[in-house]
Amino acid sequence: MLWRRLNGEVLRLPIKEAVEETIVRETEAGYKLKVCIGTDSQVYGTETEYATVIVFLREKRGGFMFISNDRTTIRTGIKERMLIEVARSIEVAYELCDIFNEFDVDMEVHADINTNPQFKSNEALREAMGYIMGMGYAFKAKPEAFASSSCADKMVN
């Protein structure tokens, strides 16, 4: 996965090193961090674009994020696409969880899935929640899942 900052600057280090460097820098600057990881997708004709974000929240001091975009031509239904989004977020969380544990940084995985049964994405809620919590991660769904439903949503072109 290729990662970048919001300003478009490509991260030169592997994501694990970039995250560790970021946590060290922010901690030394006196910030208490929390990290939220989320993915959103959008279907455009025959392509689906995914955006995964790692959102760093500075306690009472705003935040920033790293972004990775990817496109595929594999067609899926809404439930499968929601679970692919969750799987992408978990893949990133799993790669980075040792760093978060080492530096005592709280982490949540956000799913762009509506808790209201009237919405189609709700079909994937139970499976997504079980998947995320089964991995031992804190889980948030809409409307609290801002990393996926707001941040990643804005990064899907």
Its pTM stands at 0.94
Cβ count near 116 (within 10 Å):
11
- Statement: residue 157 has pLDDT above 80: no
pLDDT at 1: 86
123, pLDDT greater than 90: no
Q: Is the pLDDT of residue 46 over 90?
A: yes
Label residue 114 by pLDDT band (50, 70, 90): confident
The string of pLDDT tens digits covering residues 7-35 is 999 999 999 999 999 999 999 999 999 99
Which structural domain, as residue segments, surrounds residue 72?
Answer: 4-155
CB 41 within 8 A of CB 51: yes
Number of domains in the chain: 1
Q: What is the CATH number of the domain that holds 112?
A: 3.30.420
Tokens of 137: 């991660």
pLDDT of residue 45: 92
Assign 3-state DSSP to the chain and report helix, strand, coil percentages, each to 5.
40, 30, 25
pLDDT number for residue 122: 85
